[in-house]
Structure 1
Amino acid sequence: MPLLAPADRRILRELLLRGGTAEIGEISAAAALDNQVVQASLGTLQRSGIVAPVDSVPGLRGARWSLTQHGFEVGPSLVGNDLDVHVHNQTAPQAVDPAEGWGFPWRPPKSEAPLYATGLSRRARRVADRAVISTAGRPHGRRRGGRLIAVILLAAATIGVGIVAVGALRVTEITISGIHEGAMLQPGHLEGAVLEFSVSGGDVESAQMLLDGLPVSGVQRYDNRIVWPVPGLTEGLHIVTLDVDRRFFGTSQAAVTFTVDGTPPVVDLPRVHDPVPLGEPVVLAGPIEAGVSLQIGDQRLDTSSGSFSLTLSSPPGGPLPVVATDAAGNSTTFDIIVPIGYPHTTGVHVSAAAWDHDGLRSGIVELIEQGRINTVQLDLKDEDGYIGHSTSIPLARQVGSSKDLFDLRSAIDELHDMGVRVIGRIVAFNDPVLTRYAASTGNLDWVLQTPDGRPLLSTYGGFTNFNHAVVRKYNLDIAAEAAAAGIDDILWDYMRRPEGNLSGMRIPGWNGGDPSPVIVSFLAEAGTMLREAQVFHGVSVFGIAADRGEWIAQDVGAMSSHVDYVAPMVYPSHWGRGEYGVSHPEAQPYDITRASLAEFQNVLAGTNTAIVPWLQDFSLSVDYGPAEVRAQIDAAADLGITDWLLWDSRVTYTSDGIPVSYDQ
């Protein structure tokens, strides 16, 4: 790299072409550079003593800059071939030492006496003088004088040979410190860096330092040491050389080569992988700069061939960290997400009590036999905090949450025999049973509290503390037990905080602010566990969570990195009038369903996370029948969403509204 950056050279060229003085605007127009770039380059040239502002304030439009005497002297050599016209300025100084004040390590050569004259002793010179005089005054002494001259010349030659011999034996040693040979340096590492050459046995005053073949500024001399504070350099390979004169024996040279690299390495991997079937191997491979250190997850990969390849036995349960570091220390870090190809799902909600009820259970079986659904969502823990099936979880037995209505493994086997998948729904943090137990035993840090420290009951009867290890483990244990029983899928519900202002609730162990990260961390923990068990998992979210998730600590985008699907509850009856421009959402099920799901598609774009919406099959202020149910299913399908779950707390579904063998 030359001494000056390309922009600096162009600006110096324009000043030389204009006789040494020009305005910033003139330079900018002629050099086709932005004013700010011109100003920055002029600052660099000013610090090197090449230019100076003239009768103006630097940085303001119209400011004039002029070459200094050093600029006139060294400018043409620095511009080099860029200067294609003859530059002449009558006012420029003609006899100035360019080393003075600018840092050049060389000086003009001085005339010196011949070696044979300066090498003689005083006595030899006196003899030589007398010989010359006597030659003029005594003609008959020519033979003797000739002999004297011959003796003198012989002596001089002998002395010269001795000097040559000594010089030949004398070795010039140059040691380099500050930057080692072959170093890879980030631009920031050059700040404060000092390159030092220590010279032994040579003419230090003659030393000349070059950067990529051109003289450098800012060189400092201390006895036999040549010191150079390294300035900011462009990225690429650089070589700094020092030439030391050895008089008649040529020069000694030392050099150090290094590379400036501030560009992070490129890892050719998508941030979101294409969906992969659950349990199938995943191959992560691509090109990479040879020698870059690459780690994916906990595995360090070989990149010596200029490529990498990693085969995972199954998709990871969450984001996989990727860290690549090059020889200069530049790093590239990101997470790669490998989503699961979630299976086509058309299902209905079934409570534990309904499954235990012969009549309600037969209605579900009829939907299966008619081919209207391929999935049954079966409650594992409900909104009241009760576990409907028999459980061996110690805390469930301790708090009295198990109702023992049915055997979970038998229910799953029965449904599998009918050819349907089973989703186990767990209402996680709305848990009145655990709240009452915690309050009665003095474990108030297990529950959310009012500002004065009482359990926060609100309208739910008690919300447990999603930040407490006991509460988290209790819910994870329920999921693990279901996975061991053969469940296909876990759907987390009430994965949020209660509605209302955060100032009206206290979360023990949380330092305040939006607790969304705590909720996401639970899903990450669950995802790791369930992926190992080869079980899908998703999360139910409010319909408003697409654009107002902070109201309830549901960060849908962050959640999507740790679940296989998001299940937004877009029930038409839950929307206020005018939402998404729909005047009466409950009476317009198609319009509100399509509008709200489109918003979720926007939020989840690029994540490859499936959307499985909860749709309404119950009546509130508007009676819902086959037309209203089908309108919601059609609205989702028109957006390309063919997965859905129907909700009716009474578990009595409108079969005529559910299509048979719905087009996937």
Structure 2
Amino acid sequence: MHKRIMISRWIVWSLSLLCLQPVASATADTLAVTVVDAATHAPIAGATLVSGDLAWISGRDGGIALPDTTPGAPMAVSVRAPGYARVQASIGAGAHETVAMTRLRPKAIYLSVYGIASRTLLDAALALPARTAINAVVIDVKGDRGMTPYRSHAREGIGAQAYVPANAPRVKNLPALVKSLHDRGLYLIARIVVFKDDPLARAHPEWAVRDAEGNVWRDREQLRWIDPTISAAWAHNLDVAEEAARMGFDEIQFDYLRFPDTPGLEFHETNTAEHRVGAITGFLSAARERLLRYNVYLSVDIFGYVCWNLNDTAIGQRLETLGEQVDYIAPMLYPSGFTWGLPGYDPPTQYPGEIVSRSLAQAMRRTGLPGVRFRPWLQAFRDYAFDRRNFGAAEIRAQIEAADAAGTDGWMLWNPRNRYEPTTLPR
């Protein structure tokens, strides 16, 4: 399995190098496209242009040479680049055309399955853009307890839906809601909880994580997990991701894309760092391939300490392996989550801005990636680990200012109750 993944990644890397060379002008059998910033007209390197099941990457000059497979007929394309809104365009035959992209920095709130299905919580969320800087929403497409806010054929087809409560929250027509949110100018991120999936593990116990005695393991919430080393189990989450892409979400965000942070568990493959990292990057590689035709942005949530730990934190998340797989890395930089603190910042809840600033600087230094490749999760909930302080305007804004200073692609606010006070948010 891992050999195939490594070969696939080598091919993508090699093609990227080829595409980064200067692109020639259009010829009789090619179309020349240049991708530029709409405001500055500067070329955008590394933009991904997709047509059907094929993709090209723009070079340093923003140029791409496409084969003219249908002379005289326009070619429908989709273009994405980190830090920009996706562009749908029609490329004319034989002409040298320009695709202009508009910068976009999502400033998001989170809505759970319950939040998106609640008229009260949804209306409160939709009132925020007029009063604050909020311009994006992260929506649970598959949440922490395996529930989906819509009728998922993927969940039904694999038997997982049978283990979801009959009264689980449901949006009557999620694709229509997605369209209405887009009509409001919102950027929409589909959050998919991957390996923490109690209904799927109940439907397929052969895929479940086991304890040392061989029994199906449950976490502190008594929820079962899927074994990340069983690639046959990946396909279902990719089916859910494809459902979200077809509904029109701008970005697919994978959460709980990791091994359980509990020692002594048993997996299908030996529990080594190599196997753990291989499973996580393998899943993301498969996701890129499956979702190519939709040209959605991909992101992955990671523990805050992953920015600091040089190993895989024993959960398969090694920072340096993620940048080539996704558009955005989303570290969860909640000060309350830094249980062991950071040197000089103890307790971390007293230094929310510094926790965000230092963690992002560390992540950028280690990966060599610019700030625009990161979009952090920020804390908008009461502390649970140190002094129980409420995270109000001062704490939230300190985190936001730190993210802005690092040049990130915006930020996301996490509140499990889905309640956001406008006075705590920037305008």
| TM tier relative to shorter chain | 0.7 to 0.9
Query: What is the RMSD of the two structures over their aligned residues, measured on CA atoms?
Result: 2.9
Tell me the equivalent position of 1:432. Answer: 198
Other structure's SS at 2:381 match: coil
Superposed CA offset, 1:278-312 (max 9, x none):
649535599xxxxxxxxxxxx9xxxxxxxxxxxxx
Shift of 1:268: 8.3
Query: What does residue range 644-655 of structure 1 map to in structure 2 within 5 Å?
Result: 644-655=411-422
Q: In 2, are the aligned partners of 1:570 and 1:593 still within 8 Å (CA)?
A: yes
Identity across the alignment (%): 27
Query: What does residue range 128-143 of structure 1 map to in structure 2 within 5 Å?
Result: none
Superposed CA offset, 1:383-419 (max 9, x none):
1111121222211565444846012202201111111
Tell me the equivalent position of 1:74. Answer: none
Tell me the equivalent position of 2:97. Answer: none
Other structure's SS at 1:376 match: strand
- Mapped partners of 1:628, 1:656: distance in 2: 12
**Count of residues in Structure 1 that have an aligned counterpart in Structure 2:** 339
Tell me the equivalent position of 1:531. Answer: 292
Tell me, yes or no, if structure 1 residue 505 matches structure 2 residue 272: no
Aligned in 2, Cα 1:356/1:277: closer, same or farther, shift over 3 Å?
same
- Mapped partners of 2:238, 2:103: distance in 1: 21
Tell me, yes or no, if structure 1 residue 484 matches structure 2 residue 246: yes
Give 1:610's match in structure 2, choosing from 370, 373, 398: 373
What amino acid is aligned across from residue 375 of structure 1 in structure 2?
A
Tell me, yes or no, if structure 1 residue 459 matches structure 2 residue 224: no
- Structure 1 segments unaligned to the other structure (5+ residues): 1-266, 287-298, 300-312, 318-339
Aligned in 2, Cα 1:412/1:477: closer, same or farther, shift over 3 Å?
same
Query: What does residue range 6-85 of structure 1 map to in structure 2 within 5 Å?
Result: none
Q: In 1, are the aligned partners of 2:196 and 2:225 still within 8 Å (CA)?
A: yes
Other structure's SS at 2:236 match: helix
- Mapped partners of 2:18, 2:160: distance in 1: 51
Tell me the equivalent position of 2:91. Answer: none
- Mapped partners of 1:268, 1:478: distance in 2: 33
- Mapped partners of 1:376, 1:359: distance in 2: 16
- Mapped partners of 1:380, 1:343: distance in 2: 23
Q: In 2, are the aligned partners of 1:431 and 1:464 still within 8 Å (CA)?
A: yes
Shift of 1:367: 0.7
Tell me the equivalent position of 2:45. Answer: 274
Q: In 2, are the aligned partners of 1:275 and 1:341 still within 8 Å (CA)?
A: no
Aligned in 2, Cα 1:603/1:274: closer, same or farther, shift over 3 Å?
farther
Q: In 2, are the aligned partners of 1:388 and 1:404 still within 8 Å (CA)?
A: yes
- Determine which structure has greater relative contact order: mean sequence separation of CA pairs < 8 Å that are 6+ residues apart, divided by chain length: 2
Tell me the equivalent position of 2:181. Answer: 415
Aligned in 2, Cα 1:567/1:285: closer, same or farther, shift over 3 Å?
closer
Tell me the equivalent position of 2:334. Answer: 571
Tell me, yes or no, if structure 1 residue 405 matches structure 2 residue 170: yes
Give 1:588's match in structure 2, choosing from 334, 346, 351: 351
- Higher mean C-alpha deviation, range 564-573 or range 274-283: 274-283
What amino acid is aligned across from residue 382 of structure 2 in structure 1?
S
Query: What does residue range 358-369 of structure 1 map to in structure 2 within 5 Å?
Result: 358-369=119-130
Larger radius of gyration: 1
- Mapped partners of 2:242, 2:341: distance in 1: 43
- Normalising to structure 1: TM-score of the pair? 0.48
Tell me the equivalent position of 2:399. Answer: 632
Shift of 1:372: 2.0
Tell me, yes or no, if structure 1 residue 600 matches structure 2 residue 363: yes
Q: In 2, are the aligned partners of 1:516 and 1:554 still within 8 Å (CA)?
A: yes
Q: In 1, are the aligned partners of 2:334 and 2:378 still within 8 Å (CA)?
A: yes
Other structure's SS at 1:492 match: strand
Q: In 1, are the aligned partners of 2:353 and 2:401 still within 8 Å (CA)?
A: yes
Tell me, yes or no, if structure 1 residue 450 matches structure 2 residue 211: yes
What amino acid is aligned across from residue 622 of structure 1 in structure 2?
R
Q: In 1, are the aligned partners of 2:329 and 2:375 still within 8 Å (CA)?
A: yes
Q: In 1, are the aligned partners of 2:163 and 2:202 still within 8 Å (CA)?
A: no
Superposed CA offset, 1:1-60 (max 9, x none):
xxxxxxxxxxxxxxxxxxxxxxxxxxxxxxxxxxxxxxxxxxxxxxxxxxxxxxxxxxxx
Q: In 2, are the aligned partners of 1:589 and 1:628 still within 8 Å (CA)?
A: yes
Tell me the equivalent position of 1:557. Answer: 320
- Mapped partners of 2:329, 2:204: distance in 1: 31
What amino acid is aligned across from residue 648 of structure 1 in structure 2?
N
